[in-house]
Amino acid sequence: MSSSSTSIMDGRIPVFVFPVQLDFYYDDQTTHKRVVTIYNPYEFDVTFKVLCNNPKKYAVVEPEGRISGQKCVDIVIRHVAVSPQSVETTDKFRIHMFEEGTSEILGKKDVLAILHPGLPEAESASLGNKQRKSQPGFPLLKSDGDSPPRDVPVPNYIACFAAVVCILALFLPTSCENDRSQLLQDYPWLHLSLNQKLVFAYVLGLVTMAILRT
């Protein structure tokens, strides 16, 4: 107990926060709001406080609060001063964690906030592809020779084989039939029971759905 209290009072307990960097993009309003998760993996309850070096540019929902032991909380951070002058500037959030009921800092964690120009890379690439497809000056490329296009789906050979087996099994005679086929009379193991045929019919339905989806 003494060693535990000593480590707490030394302020050496790590603070677990995700993400550790907030990326805002000037032309994407959906990125102007970010969610930060603060974890408390310890057995005791803690309190936290969120500080910022430039509080006029951000709005923090519930910048102070309590986290029970082995729980986490989400806080919302909004960039409310998006402007060309703020692009490529880096701000810093500092999260202080306290032992509940005291003002002694257990640990702290810095989270960077950066306003980037334009759009996120993935979104910019997708928009560029759409624009190139819509422009008449970019003709469609043809494949060399008779090679198939890359987007052609590959048939599911296993499902096709299973479907053929099920169909053949359904055509076999049933063991409860009185007039058994003379052709297969010498092969009693080919006479299936009604339950076996029901199983084959059920499997046939499943593989048929798999083939149609492909």
CATH of residue 26: 2.60.40.10
pLDDT given at position 9: 41
> For the residues 174-194, what does the mean pLDDT come to?
65
Shared domain for 6 and 70, answered yes or no, is yes
Shared domain for 102 and 11, answered yes or no, is yes
Higher pLDDT, 1 or 191: 191
**pLDDT of 32 over the 90 cut:** yes
Average pLDDT of every residue of the chain: 78
User: Does 45 reside within a domain?
Assistant: yes
User: Does 147 reside within a domain?
Assistant: no
How does residue 183 score in pLDDT terms, banded at 50, 70 and 90? low
Q: Which of 65, 90, 119 is the last residue of a domain?
A: 119
pTM for this entry: 0.53
How does residue 214 score in pLDDT terms, banded at 50, 70 and 90? low
Q: How far apart are CA 203 and CA 206, in angstroms?
A: 5
Q: Which of 92, 119, 146 is the last residue of a domain?
A: 119
Shared domain for 84 and 164, answered yes or no, is no
pLDDT given at position 109: 93
pLDDT given at position 39: 94
**pLDDT of 76 over the 70 cut:** yes
Q: SS3 for the chain, per residue?
A: CHHHHHHHHCCCCCCEEECCEEEEECCEHHHHEEEEEEEECCCCCEEEEEEECCHHHEEECCCEEEECCCEEEEEEEEECCCCHHHCCCEEEEEEEEEECCCCCEEEEEEEEEEEECCCCHHHHHHHHHHHHHHCCCCCCCCCCCCCCCCCCCCCCHHHHHHHHHHHHHHHCCECCCCCCCCCCCCCHHHCECHHHHHHHHHHHHHHHHHHHHC
pLDDT given at position 95: 95
Shared domain for 163 and 108, answered yes or no, is no
The structural domain count of the chain equals 2
pLDDT given at position 142: 45
> For the residues 37-55, what does the mean pLDDT come to?
93
pLDDT in tens, 141-169: 444 444 444 555 566 778 788 888 888 87
**pLDDT of 94 over the 80 cut:** yes
User: Does 172 reside within a domain?
Assistant: yes
**pLDDT of 213 over the 80 cut:** no
Higher pLDDT, 55 or 183: 55
Q: Which of 119, 138, 172 is the last residue of a domain?
A: 119
Question: Beta strand 33-40 with 58-60: parallel, antiparallel or unpaired?
Answer: unpaired
Range of the domain at 100: 2-119
Shared domain for 206 and 108, answered yes or no, is no
